[in-house]
Amino acid sequence: MFKITIAGTGYVGLVTGVCLAEVGHKVTCVDVDEEKVNLMKKGISPIYEADLEELMRRNYNAGRITFTTDYKKAYKDADAIFIGVGTPELPDGSANLTYIATVARQIAESVEKDCLVVVKSTVPVGTNDKVEQFIKDFLVNDVKVEVASNPEFLAQGSAVHDTFCASRIIIGTESKWAEEMLKKIYEPFNIPIVSVNRRSAEMIKYACNNFLAMKISFMNDIANLCELVGADIEDVVKGMSYDERIGCKYLNAGIGFGGSCLPKDTKALEYLARQYGYELRTVKSAIEVNKEQKTLLFKKACRRLITFSGLKVAVLGLTFKPGTDDIREAPSLDNVPLLLDHGADIYAYDPVGINNFMKRYPEGQHGAGRITYVDNPEEALKDANVCFIFTEWKEIKTIEPAQYRKLMRTPLVYDGRNIYKVEDMSREGVEYYSVGRPGRPVKGFNGMY
């Protein structure tokens, strides 16, 4: 059992802390946000994530995890300090390392015994070296501090499951001491450990997320071509996925990738390459395809409608994917402002994302358009002239095709997640447009898709 402190209680930090406590370590989570810390002390998780709150409460009650803003006390006698603070995107695409630097300095000024600093946040290759040097430069006491890289591979919405059932744990170390300590910390998880040097570990994280992003953009590119040549992306995926080298996962075409990771990490890797005088053409293309893809359905709708002004527009799904309340880089954020600019009267539904979305777009008038939030899809669809689906929530996927015809003023649906079978929508008389599949408009309509 180790005494572990976690810096930052976002998705990475909090999930790591709770899971390390669950396997028996004594964990202290530090955050600068007092309000957040008080919430966690009351057993409330500041993020929406399956199973997290229950696990957090159980370990808190068992005394295995505590929450504090007092970083000095939390760092001073920790065996290991995990850094899980954010590395958001800067305007030039590079990663903002300010939060990492602040934590590194606080660690240097607080530690009173030898300790291992573990960087979990996604950081550009070479950052771990700099963090170690930075800590040494500011170290107050005569103790040994080493830095190890331990990138995180959890996905939002399944974070706890992903941590306990990870395919592998990557550790990047520069000494046997650091390697052995991390191996011992992770022993109870019983997951294969891949031990490499720090720079390789940092690169593994970027390579994985960038590969995933390229996979999506490639499928979106092929989907767009499918539409032009009359092929069906769903059938194409079915055929492709029999090839084990390709696999059957992460091949869904749609309205582009969002979230706090893929968009940021593609830009950061592209930036890193540029800094070394190398042009990362594959990743650059993935970014470009994704940018275009986000407004694909809006453009399709513009070809079909004279105007959005005076039209009731149902927006179903605001978060970047189901299972999370996170709206960062969500396709809804590209489309809602466009629809508002074009005078749409939006009725938006999302099972958990409304609060976050409202902070960006409060209910009411926005220029030529307006937005109203509703608590069920039916209210959004009632008398609507057009519907956009941006997230494949269960609550949205289970709407029967007939409902669109029954509830909407004109059953015209643009689906960014290919939720429905084209035939089913067509049979119900819904004019239905999705991504990469031949459109089957209702009889009598001869417009372009």
Residues that bind ligand UGA (CB under 6 A): 122, 152-156, 209, 212, 216, 250-252, 254, 257-259, 261-262, 320-321
Bridge-based pairing of strands 145-149 and 115-119 is: parallel
Q: How far is CA 25 from the centre of its chain?
A: 27
Identify the helix (H) or strand (E) that includes residue 297. helix 296-304
User: How far from 381 is each of 296, 316, 386, 419, CA to CA, in Å?
Assistant: 21, 9, 8, 16
Please identify, using beta-carbon distances, which residue of 251 and 344 lies nearer to ligand UGA.
251
Taking the complex as a whole, the smallest distance from the CB of residue 63 to ligand UGA amounts, in Å, to 29
Taking the complex as a whole, the smallest distance from the CB of residue 417 to ligand UGA amounts, in Å, to 8
Taking the complex as a whole, the smallest distance from the CB of residue 186 to ligand UGA amounts, in Å, to 16
Distance CA 326, CA 157 (A): 10
At 116, the amino acid letter reads L
Taking the complex as a whole, the smallest distance from the CB of residue 307 to ligand UGA amounts, in Å, to 29
Please identify, using beta-carbon distances, which residue of 153 and 271 lies nearer to ligand UGA.
153
Looking at residue 398, the DSSP 8-state letter turns out to be T
For 232, phi and psi rounded to 5 degrees? Answer: -120, 115
Taking the complex as a whole, the smallest distance from the CB of residue 182 to ligand UGA amounts, in Å, to 18
Coil, helix or strand at residue 442: coil
Please identify, using beta-carbon distances, which residue of 135 and 283 lies nearer to ligand UGA.
283
User: How far from 74 is each of 87, 181, 280, 315, CA to CA, in Å?
Assistant: 22, 19, 41, 45
Please identify, using beta-carbon distances, which residue of 208 and 273 lies nearer to ligand UGA.
208
Taking the complex as a whole, the smallest distance from the CB of residue 429 to ligand UGA amounts, in Å, to 29
Please identify, using beta-carbon distances, which residue of 152 and 345 lies nearer to ligand UGA.
152
Active-site annotation, residues: 261
Contact 317, 391 (CB under 8 A): yes
Distance CA 163, CA 154 (A): 6
Taking the complex as a whole, the smallest distance from the CB of residue 394 to ligand UGA amounts, in Å, to 14
Contact 311, 345 (CB under 8 A): yes
Please identify, using beta-carbon distances, which residue of 154 and 348 lies nearer to ligand UGA.
154
Q: Which segments of 62-158 does DSSP mark as H helices, in order?
A: 71-76, 98-110, 127-138
Please identify, using beta-carbon distances, which residue of 78 and 255 lies nearer to ligand UGA.
255
Residue with the two structure tokens 């929406």:
48
Using alpha carbons, select from 218, 345, 347, 318 the residue that is nearest to residue 258.
318
Strand-pairing partners, residue 116, are 80, 146
User: How far from 407 is each of 125, 198, 343, CA to CA, in Å?
Assistant: 53, 56, 22
Measured CA angle at 75 (ends 20, 135), to 5 deg = 110
